[in-house]
Amino acid sequence: MSSAEPVTDADWDVKVLKSDKPVLVDFWAEWCGPCRLVSPVLDQIAQEKAESLKVVKLNVDDNPAVTRRYAVLSIPTLLLVADGVEKRRLVGARSLVQILADIQEFL
């Protein structure tokens, strides 16, 4: 079971935009090989950074509205959202060290 919380089009605003801490959103799909590589890394981040960061997963096949709203064209795409605004976008599979380096200023 994933440590990252699922998010949908319906609960996006509450779980992501109105979060009291920064949110790392994983745009993914079941058929995406690189998404499967990133998933355990995101689980580790979710566990290690739970105090300062929320990690959620949005299935692009099941949630097209948010996917379109944020113009996500490739997966995996990670968005760092803070105070309801996209602050950072990471496209493609990355290592734990790379992801943490790219979002460090928001932790």
The closest alpha carbon to 57, from 41, 33, 78, belongs to: 78
CATH of the domain at 44: 3.40.30.10
Query: Range of 62's domain?
Result: 5-106
Q: Mind giving me the DSSP string for 76-90?
A: SEEEEEETTEEEEEE
Query: β-pairing, 54-59 with 23-28?
Result: parallel
The closest alpha carbon to 26, from 46, 47, 1, 48, belongs to: 46
Tens of pLDDT, residue by residue over 18-34, are 999 999 999 999 999 99
- Model confidence at 9: pLDDT above 90: yes
CB atoms within 10 A of CB 43: 16
User: What predicted TM-score, i.e. pTM, was given to this entire model?
Assistant: 0.95
Question: Are the C-beta atoms of 70 and 90 separated by less than 8 Å?
Answer: no
Cα separation, 16 vs 68, in Å, equals 16
Residues with a catalytic annotation lie at 32, 35
What is the reported pLDDT for 84? 96
What is the reported pLDDT for 3? 83
Tens of pLDDT, residue by residue over 43-85, are 999 999 999 999 999 999 999 999 999 999 999 999 999 999 9
Query: What is the tally of structural domains in the chain?
Result: 1
- Model confidence at 87: pLDDT above 70: yes
What is the reported pLDDT for 1? 56
